[in-house]
Structure 1
């Protein structure tokens, strides 16, 4: 008999087998199975790194061993067998559970867990040291040195005998400068100078420094953690495009970005003023009001005496292309309200096809010169702007596909649509925000290369729009030129697309959204036509006009 040692069998990675790669467990299922950390796409479930990263994301307290996380995952995946998820999901979860029990995978989980634990501990120590140093003077004068705890993070474990322990307090103070060092260790910080205060004894709860405003608290009671917010700060819709503060810092050399999910400190004063102007206009429905009779028509159409009556809708007074578009869109909405079963917003493609596509198809008819292509489409012209950087080799040029693109025949204007699915898929939303930044700036670069002999002033009047769809919320952002080194990307409008009778009042913001987009497209098309005439010499430019080539080439 051979004495050769047995070869180790390779661990087979689970296969999706019919489960969509971007599938995410519903919140109710995650809660019932104790898998709250599993906000990942299904394709990422077998990834040890992704699972551990999700566990430590924004964590203020964690287990000293990987075993607790490992047991939580195994128990959670086993629990899925007794839920209402699809059979293919149950089968995939069983594969993942077996995969995570393989000794080499357990070892990889253990090593990566302790690696992330060290980073998290270092980050916590740095935060504690920063805040403790900043508030020492105020603390000594008001409470005395006895109110300060030691810097060592081990104090957290020794305080477990207390009935309630304040684990962390996020603070906003203008006097604290941002921590230096590796940005990857400072993900918990945001651009508005938010930090964590040292652990405090709550026997005598008090604010040891009046200059520090607390906005978030975390408590532990009977081994369970509870997080609380104050009424102010962090008022962000979960259905909007997002970027982390690390993303903002990484992109700051290339983009001026202002999203409603961001902060004022993440952009310049001019960009902030522009964003606030857009928000004021949205609140006032300023674009919709330019269409005579549109608001009156909508109010009458949604009145209980007329609602869901298509014959009355088409008999209502009101003229013009915009009101005609409103009639078509509301007719589709009436049909949605009459569905045998309510529209499930968790079914991303169903909502996109039944609600989003008809709206933008009718919008294209309103403009008259644009039409849509749907589902995994790309703008071919934008690939060409990368050829000089790739030494004119097509290989290596990244290829981004979109859920929808509206453009004219000449491809001199484009509206890029990207559906990010559920509001709970944060990683997907961030990826799509990156994709929109790339695609809109690439398309703008294509226009720059096409009209180099035109006026810079005319070029900078062009705005490239993109629409992000998260659940039933649409967000419109515009990409423009900030200066020769940076683009500007600003949120302009947002709205909810009603899918039932209870939401019908939300249509006023949806039509304000479309009226604003109409203005953007028409003004950009007008500027592009003027730019073309300038580049071809049909329009003579003044001698003091700056040419595109002189500023950007």
Structure 2
């Protein structure tokens, strides 16, 4: 930029600043330095591109109060999904050559998976319309006819989970037992065991697709992934808050409880998010390691799942290979676990999450059968199409 152009650009920026100041009718002061820097820094040179996913800072205004405190006003672009797994941008950039991370939750406002189970959806809506005192009796007097075995499993899952919900709703609050309204314990394990574990244990019991170990479970594939191939020494052990094993005893779902019901430590959430992603990748590698002769296109459809609990929210994520033999992570469903009967409509999104996991795992049964057939030689696979060729040559 020439000197004359630079002078004109600065004047334009100052005129914009003056106009903004003139629009303020209160006696408060505005942070000149922040506004001027924001105005100038968000201009791009010809041919330059702004960094992706950078929030437009010009949509934030800082107002100084008479006591010299700063009040910030920001636009709706600063809305964000709360209580989700958290990955620092630097981490996302650092691991991009290995894994792509998509933290934008998939559109779930339509409850598409749950709505595909018409009988189960109707049953759930009717159940949520019951009074608390009547729900338990009502649940077990309902008979469903002419439904598939798949939908029957989902219905039974709903019944057992809602029974547990009613039981929790009748519990006497700890604050009453302690004769104080300020006693609020927030133990991470209490929330995990009382509210999260029953959901997924019932899921496994009723679908037959997962068996679980709970609380400080050692993951097998993490140590194998860190194997030092020069001396054949296994890596360090890693533990998870929950592990789900599929019908072939493969580690298929890894779970982390990052905090209790009321308070979140963001640094703990970040650590658990990164740890869980690493575990999911190790688990997918574990399946690939025993299917090196299978077709890579079949391996592309293989999924590993993760559940992270953050306050009252649970987030379901999945990891797959991509076409370049790298890894792809995305968050697919989020739900908030209801803790009182008046919150019972939150079960719609909880069962949407569970229905999604149910369908996805059911599809994996077929996928794993195909992988096994290809690995065992029952299906002829050209060498250039195998997992061995696609992954080991990357």
Instruction: Give the TM-score category using the shorter length.
Output: 0.7 to 0.9
Q: CA deviation at 1:327?
A: 0.1
Counterparts of 2:117 and 2:350, CA distance in 1: 14
Write the deviation string for residues 407-428 of structure 1: whole angstroms up to 9, x where unpaired: 1363324111101105531100
1:373 paired with 2:217, answer no
Q: CA deviation at 1:141?
A: 3.4
1:407 paired with 2:245, answer yes
The count of corresponding residues between Structure 1 and Structure 2 is 359
Q: TM-score, normalised by structure 1?
A: 0.59
1:217 paired with 2:62, answer yes
Of 220, 223, 240, the match for 2:84: 240
Write the deviation string for residues 465-513 of structure 1: whole angstroms up to 9, x where unpaired: 1001001100011111124453111010000011101211110110000
2:22 match: none
Question: Which of structures 1 and 2 has the bigger CA Rg?
Answer: 1
Contact 1:479 1:488 in 2 (8 A): yes
1:253 paired with 2:97, answer yes
Contact 1:302 1:504 in 2 (8 A): yes
Return the structure number with greater relative CO, CA threshold 8 A, min gap 6: 2
Superposition pairs of residues 71-82 of structure 1, within 5 angstroms = none
1:383 match: 223
Counterparts of 1:313 and 1:514, CA distance in 2: 19
SS at match of 2:298: helix
Counterparts of 1:418 and 1:135, CA distance in 2: 53
Of 113, 122, 125, the match for 1:299: 125
Q: Can you give the 5+ residue segments of structure 1 that lack an aligned partner in the other structure?
A: 1-133, 149-161, 180-189, 197-212, 261-274
1:105 match: none
1:168 paired with 2:34, answer yes
Q: CA deviation at 1:519?
A: 1.5
Q: Can you give the 5+ residue segments of structure 2 that lack an aligned partner in the other structure?
A: 20-26, 146-151, 176-183
Counterparts of 2:327 and 2:17, CA distance in 1: 51
Q: CA deviation at 1:139?
A: 5.0
2:179 match: none
1:433 paired with 2:273, answer yes
2:375 match: 535
Q: CA deviation at 1:393?
A: 1.6
CA 1:489–1:145 in structure 2 vs 1: closer, same or farther (change >3 Å)?
A: closer
Superposition pairs of residues 468-479 of structure 1, within 5 angstroms = 468-479=308-319
Counterparts of 1:143 and 1:494, CA distance in 2: 46
Q: TM-score, normalised by structure 2?
A: 0.82
Counterparts of 1:526 and 1:532, CA distance in 2: 10
Counterparts of 1:145 and 1:296, CA distance in 2: 57
Counterparts of 1:259 and 1:434, CA distance in 2: 13
Contact 2:204 2:211 in 1 (8 A): yes
Q: CA deviation at 1:317?
A: 3.7
1:12 match: none
SS at match of 2:385: coil
1:480 paired with 2:324, answer no
CA 1:404–1:165 in structure 2 vs 1: closer, same or farther (change >3 Å)?
A: same
1:313 match: 139
Alpha-carbon RMSD across the aligned residues, in angstroms, is 3.0
1:448 paired with 2:273, answer no
1:547 paired with 2:392, answer no
Counterparts of 1:445 and 1:137, CA distance in 2: 58
Counterparts of 1:392 and 1:456, CA distance in 2: 26
Contact 2:317 2:332 in 1 (8 A): yes
